[in-house]
Structure 1
Amino acid sequence: MYWIVLIIAGLFEVAFATCLGKAKVATGAAATYWFVGFLLCLAVSMFLLVKASQVLPIGTAYAVWTGIGAVGTVLVGIFFFREPATFWRLFFLTTLIASIVGLKWVSN
């Protein structure tokens, strides 16, 4: 159950990173809306991370949370913002995913 909460927290981290990126390039009211979305996603992500870390080891929870955010943000960049999907980016993304899975595997 708490692993699911942690995964959802990581997805909200992807959302707040995406909103922050969009707020940076938007202007006027759109920039404000993206910034409000950033703040809301940040609050939800942090709340869920706190809930998950009450049961899961904090080191593992934090590493998995940031890993999901990093992987998700890179994938959003590749699929939605036309960032390059070079061999080395995908290689290191794969090693990051393997590390996240490994941390979950060795945690109680």
Structure 2
Amino acid sequence: MCTVDKALQDDCISLVQRCDDEGAFMIRVGTLDTVVTIRLRRTWGSRTAYRQSHAIKTPRQPSPNWSCAPEAESPGDALRKAICGLTMHYRQAVGEGYPPAEDWLVPAN
């Protein structure tokens, strides 16, 4: 099980602000300036759901990456899942030589 602090240690993000009481975490991905907000909330049982303000869509992806199952066993696991969904695609695109661009982050409707 991942803790919230451990989830925030991803070297591809920078933490802008966190409000643990509200389950809100504001991050930047890689070198992008856009702030992504991830909100956590408890669901029935002991699971934690998350909602992101933005998804990522790099030139190598056919569509933005929105999780089809935005929940996990714990708050830390949910936050890690949200962060990894963003950073995995960012790292792959940059690794393939694409220059990071702000329009990679697509706002939620």
TM-score normalised by the chain length of structure 2: 0.32
**Which of the two has higher C-alpha Rg?**
1
State the structure with bigger RCO (CA 8 A, min sep 6), 1 or 2.
1
TM-score normalised by the chain length of structure 1: 0.33
Larger helix share, 1 or 2: 1
Larger strand share, 1 or 2: 2
